[in-house]
Amino acid sequence: MDHDCLFCRIVAGEIPATVVYETPTTLAFRDIDPKAAVHVLVIPKEHYADVVALSADPAASADLLATASSVAEGEGLTGDGFRLMFNTGRFAGQEVFHVHAHVLGGEPLGPMLALR
């Protein structure tokens, strides 16, 4: 655990979160500032800074994807569809350097990028 990491502290129960799904290796909780009708963050309980670091651990990567799919099913998103997004680094505007997948849905999400 990284004591300076916000999401490690959520995993440790030091900071509250609205948890929607949990496995032995992953945690899913509602984004505090939702950008869509449904906005859930899915994280590995172990600390990896970003998706590049996570990809070095295939089992952890698979666990994260499986939890993201379970969240999408649990939130009723699989029929109309949803977006799964990893912001990575400065150009993508990554704010929290503990890898997290954004599960977004519950309404039409518009274009993939605001720039285009």
Q: Which residues bind ligand AMP (CB under 6 A)?
A: 6, 15, 17, 29, 31-33, 41, 87, 93-96
Structure tokens at 9: 């502290």
Of 96 and 109, which CB lies nearer to ligand AMP in the complex structure? Answer: 96
Of 72 and 104, which CB lies nearer to ligand AMP in the complex structure? Answer: 104
- Cβ 31 to ligand AMP shortest distance, Å: 5
How far are the Cα atoms of 15, 53, 78 from residue 75, in angstroms, in the given order? 23, 28, 8
Who contacts 18 (Cβ-Cβ below 8 Å, separation ≥6)?
A: 29, 30
Give the residue numbers annotated as catalytic, written as ranges.
Answer: 100
